[in-house]
């Protein structure tokens, strides 16, 4: 022990698992007894360095010292301070490692764990008095201390900093507003318990995490009902489920349709686009039926099908199902959890019945367009990883006929240069004309081959691997047999869809040609309006812009002259109140800039004047109040005057003693507001 404090440090432990405790003091012997033993590297470091805890090991203590430096606190000064220093030290180490490993802050799975670690550390920074972003700075120390053993930390240093900076900035906005609201609610409480409804409102309305609410309450010696909070959360989830049902959730898809659950539809669409099949079930207007006639919207279950059902972001095939007595068009295909393919469409001829022998035919052109988009999606992901880094992972996708929507993990908007580089890489891969090879193999062999898999997805022992050029992915969708058949790809948009998740939209194949033709048509139309040709359109637009600037300058000069004339009239109609000249008027066809120009002139020329100028544009009122220097000395205050005037026209505003602006929504009340100016000014002089 080494001292009389009775403190022992566990370095190596041995656990002999022998009994099962039922929680009521009753022990029964385990059928399989075992021994668990272990000693962590960090515990060994404590022994080697002769220190009393993990936080005193040199590499960890250097991180704590960095936090102490930023906070202006010293480790060991107080238990409360030490707790916050240790929390930040521990959490930033985990944060850096997780981000380096490809984890992105999110609201589920490992991303949620990362988000909670980061946010809890930021919260303890607030407790230490740190009022600026600091986590990225501390991360530099972590990388410096651990980069020798983990060189990938150094390689991804810039990326790690970016993710931390973005998340901390986002959370600071939430925590500042959330803490203010929480403190108000605590002040209004009995000092013992915060209502679960208030805690839930903080989470649901303001995005303030419940774990932080609980932590703040604990510091205040208060509690809240976690059970009641969870009940409110479950009620919200149930409401969301009900809303989804109202939006058309196909509840009958989970029913057995009178069929044995073991019956599955055999999918043959990888190798054929047309085959014979038998109708196993028909759903007509939401009810299981034996037959359907022309004009009726139905869902058909076949024993086998060449139709691909919507899965993995790829939309379902289109086509027709024909039999001796009738036919239907297929506009969508869905797959139930128990493996039945639901062909959705309308009966176009005669009648279809259960047990009918039919021919299922996929629209080949439509399927090919989907394949163009899907193969291009794989090439797009590969290009994104090449340009942005290996942290890029698919976070969702939608693959339609010649249209792609691809969500991926990344911390910032792509620059124009990055987008251009990605697009060029994809088109180079298309033009390379590489064969698209599809193979089935074991999951282990697929990993050895370098196949990309989606985190969180469950894969069986046998998987389908699609290789297109340098892209190798696990995928169950349909693809081209050669990249060249994609034609080309054009990115049409890039945006954020969530924290740490970006979205690219693109078109392929014939959709690229349509896009080019549509844009050319716009250019032709614009050229015709400007009486030039598309090749000279840029020069013509530049000329038009220069002409408009010259015209605006002329208008500004004319406006100044008009304003000067109007000011003379204003000076003549002003009223003297307690030694101050006061005027309030509406100006016709005056812009906000014109009001400001006139206001500045009044202030400079009439130091003893208070002027309220107004204009109406549509249903909006613009107000400006100026007070000359002498008027201000006598008690006039433009900000207070304009605030009172704006109330009358249903608006608000304010400003400095010498100048203030406001807006209103009720032009009908403007005359009343202007008439009130004299009394408002008189009251403050």
Q: What is the mean pLDDT of residues 185-210?
A: 82
Question: What's the CA dihedral at 118, 123, 124, 125 to 10 degrees?
Answer: 90
pLDDT for the residue numbered 115: 87
DSSP annotation of 2 reads -
In this structure, of 348-357, 653-662, 672-681, the range with the lowest mean pLDDT score is 653-662
Prediction pTM value: 0.60
User: For position 439, what pLDDT does the model report?
Assistant: 93
**Dist CA 135 CA 141 (whole Å):** 10
Instruction: Tell me the percentage of the chain whose pLDDT exceeds 70.
Output: 93
Q: What is the pLDDT of residue 441?
A: 92
pLDDT score recorded for residue 253: 46
Average of per-residue pLDDT across 14-21: 92
Residue 435 has pLDDT above 60, yes or no: yes
556-684 belongs to CATH 3.10.450.50: no
pLDDT, mean of residues 557-580: 75
Contact 328, 345 (CB under 8 A): yes
- Cα separation, 175 vs 533, whole angstroms: 56
**Residues 443, 459 contacting (CB under 8 angstroms):** yes
322-334 pLDDT tens trace: 999 999 999 999 9
How far is residue 226's CA from residue 452's CA, in Å, rounded to a whole number?
40
CATH number for the domain running over 368-515 = 3.30.980.10
Burial class (CB in 10 A: 0-12, 13-18, 19+), 18: exposed
Q: What is the pLDDT of residue 237?
A: 72
At 458, is the pLDDT very low, low, confident or very high (cuts 50, 70, 90)? Answer: low
* pLDDT-derived band at 251, boundaries 50, 70, 90: very low
DSSP string for residues in 232-301: HHHHHHHHHHHHHHHTT--GGGGS-TTS-TT--PEE-TTT-SEEEEEEEEEEETTEEESEEETT-EEEEE
* Listed residue (468, 463, 495) closest to 483, CA to CA: 468
User: What is the spatial distance between Cα 505 and Cα 511, in angstroms, rounded to a whole number?
Assistant: 12
Structural domain boundaries in the chain: 44-236, 262-362, 368-515, 556-684
Distance of CA 501 to CAs 146, 170, 392, 489, 508, Å? 28, 14, 9, 22, 23
Rounded to an integer, the average pLDDT of 408-434 is 94
Percent of the chain with pLDDT over 90: 52
504 pLDDT above the threshold of 50: yes
pLDDT range class, residue 258, cuts 50, 70, 90: low
**What backbone phi and psi angles, to 5 degrees, belong to 597?**
-60, -45
Q: What is the mean pLDDT of residues 252-257?
A: 48
Q: Which CATH architecture has domain 262-362?
A: Beta Barrel (2.40)
Mean pLDDT, residues 474-479 taken together: 93
Topology match between the domains 368-515 and 556-684 = no
Q: How confident is the model at residue 338 (pLDDT cuts 50, 70, 90)?
A: confident
Q: Is the dihedral of CA 157, 158, 164, 167 positive or negative?
A: negative
Residue 680 pLDDT grade (very low, low, confident, very high; cuts 50, 70, 90): very high
Amino acid 366: pLDDT: 96
pLDDT at 567: 66
pLDDT tens digits along 206-219: 667 787 788 888 87
pLDDT value of position 247: 39
Per DSSP, the three-state class of 328 is strand
Q: What is the pLDDT of residues 511-537, one digit of tens each?
A: 999 999 999 999 999 999 999 998 999
* pLDDT band at residue 371 using 50, 70 and 90 as cut-offs: very high
| pLDDT for the residue 454 | 62
pLDDT in tens, 124-142: 998 898 988 999 999 999 9
Per-residue CA distances from 545 to 141, 539, 542, 552, 591 (Å): 53, 10, 5, 10, 21
Q: How confident is the model at residue 304 (pLDDT cuts 50, 70, 90)?
A: very high
pLDDT band at residue 457 under the 50/70/90 scheme: low
DSSP assignment of 418-478: HHHHHHHHHHHHHHTT-BEEEEEEEHHHHHHHT-B--TT----SEEEEEEETTEEEE--S-
Round to whole Å and give the CA distance between 150 and 148.
6
Residue 455 or residue 59, greater confidence:
59
Q: What average pLDDT does the structure give for the chain? A: 87
Residue 429 CA to residue 425 CA, distance in Å, equals 6
Query: Residue 140: CB partners within 8 Å, gap ≥ 6?
Result: 157, 161
CA distance linking residue 588 with residue 314, whole number of Å: 59
Cα(349)–Cα(357) distance, rounded to whole angstroms? 15
State the average pLDDT over residues 161-167. Answer: 88
At residue 248 the predicted structure's pLDDT band, cuts being 50, 70 and 90, is: very low
**Residue with the larger pLDDT of the pair 262 and 213:** 213
């Amino acid at each position: 022990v080494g001292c009389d404090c009775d403190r022992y440090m566990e370095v190596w432990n041995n656990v002999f698992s022998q009994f099962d405790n039922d929680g009521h003091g009753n022990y029964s012997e385990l059928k399989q007894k075992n021994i668990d033993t272990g000693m962590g590297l960090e515990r060994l470091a404590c022994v080697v360095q002769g220190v009393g805890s993990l936080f005193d090991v040199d590499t960890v203590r250097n991180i704590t010292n960095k936090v102490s430096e930023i906070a202006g606190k010293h480790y060991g000064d107080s238990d409360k301070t030490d707790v916050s220093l240790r929390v930040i030290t521990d959490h930033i180490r985990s944060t850096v490692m997780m981000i380096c490993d490809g984890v992105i802050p999110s609201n589920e799975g490992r991303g949620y764990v990362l988000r909670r670690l980061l946010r809890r550390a930021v919260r303890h920074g607030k407790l230490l008095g740190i009022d600026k972003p600091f986590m990225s700075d501390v991360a530099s120390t972590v990388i410096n201390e651990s980069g020798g053993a983990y060189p990938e930390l150094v390689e991804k240093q810039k990326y790690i900093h970016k993710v931390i900076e973005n998340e901390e900035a986002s959370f600071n906005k939430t925590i500042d507003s959330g803490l203010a609201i929480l403190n108000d609610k605590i002040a209004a409480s009995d000092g013992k318990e915060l209502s679960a409804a208030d805690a839930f409102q903080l989470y649901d309305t303001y995005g303030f995490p419940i774990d932080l609410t609980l932590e703040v309450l604990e510091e205040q010696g208060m509690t809240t009902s976690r059970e009641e909070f969870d009940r409110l959360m479950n009620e919200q989830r149930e409401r969301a489920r009900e809303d989804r049902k109202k939006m058309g959730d196909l509840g009958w898809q989970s029913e057995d349709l009178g069929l044995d659950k073991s019956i599955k539809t055999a999918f043959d669409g990888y190798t054929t686009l047309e085959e014979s099949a038998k109708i196993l079930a028909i759903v007509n207007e939401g009810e299981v039926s034996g037959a359907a006639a022309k004009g009726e919207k139905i869902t058909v279950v076949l024993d086998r099908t060449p139709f691909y059902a919507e899965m993995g972001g790829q939309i379902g095939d289109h086509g027709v199902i024909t039999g001796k007595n009738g036919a239907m068009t297929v506009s969508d295909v869905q797959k139930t959890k128990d493996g039945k393919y639901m062909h959705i469409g309308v009966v176009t001829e005669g009648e279809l019945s259960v047990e009918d022998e039919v021919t299922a035919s996929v629209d080949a052109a439509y399927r090919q367009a989907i394949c163009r988009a899907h193969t291009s999606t794989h090439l797009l992901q590969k290009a994104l990883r090449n340009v942005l880094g290996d942290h890029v992972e698919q976070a969702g996708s939608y693959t339609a006929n010649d249209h792609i929507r691809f969500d991926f993990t990344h911390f910032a908007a792509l620059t124009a240069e990055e987008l251009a580089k990605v697009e060029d890489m994809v088109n180079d891969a298309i033009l390379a004309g590489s064969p698209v090879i599809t193979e089935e193999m074991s999951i282990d062999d697929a990993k050895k081959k370098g196949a990309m898999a989606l985190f969180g997805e469950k894969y069986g022992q046998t998987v389908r691997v699609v290789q297109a050029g340098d892209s190798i992915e696990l995928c169950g969708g349909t693809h081209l047999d050669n990249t060249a058949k994609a034609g080309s790809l054009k990115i049409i948009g890039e945006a954020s869809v969530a924290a740490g998740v970006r979205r690219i939209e693109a078109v392929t194949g014939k959709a690229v040609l349509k896009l080019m033709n549509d844009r050319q048509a716009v250019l032709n139309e614009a050229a015709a309006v400007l009486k030039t040709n598309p090749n000279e359109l840029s020069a013509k637009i530049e000329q038009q812009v220069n002409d408009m600037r010259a015209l605006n300058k002329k208008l500004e000069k004319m406006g100044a002259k008009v304003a000067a004339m109007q000011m003379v009239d204003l000076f003549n109609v002003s009223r003297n109140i307690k030694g101050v000249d006061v005027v309030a008027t509406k100006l016709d066809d005056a812009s906000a800039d014109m009001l400001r120009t006139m206001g500045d002139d009044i202030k400079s020329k009439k130091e003893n004047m208070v002027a309220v100028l107004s204009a109406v544009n549509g249903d909006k009122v613009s107000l400006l109040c100026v007070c000359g220097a002498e008027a201000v000395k006598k008690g006039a205050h433009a900000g207070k005057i304009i605030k009172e005037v704006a109330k009358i026209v249903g608006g608000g505003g304010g400003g400095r003693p010498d100048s203030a602006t406001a807006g209103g929504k009720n032009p009908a009340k403007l005359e009343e507001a202007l008439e009130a100016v004299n009394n408002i000014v008189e009251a403050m002089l």
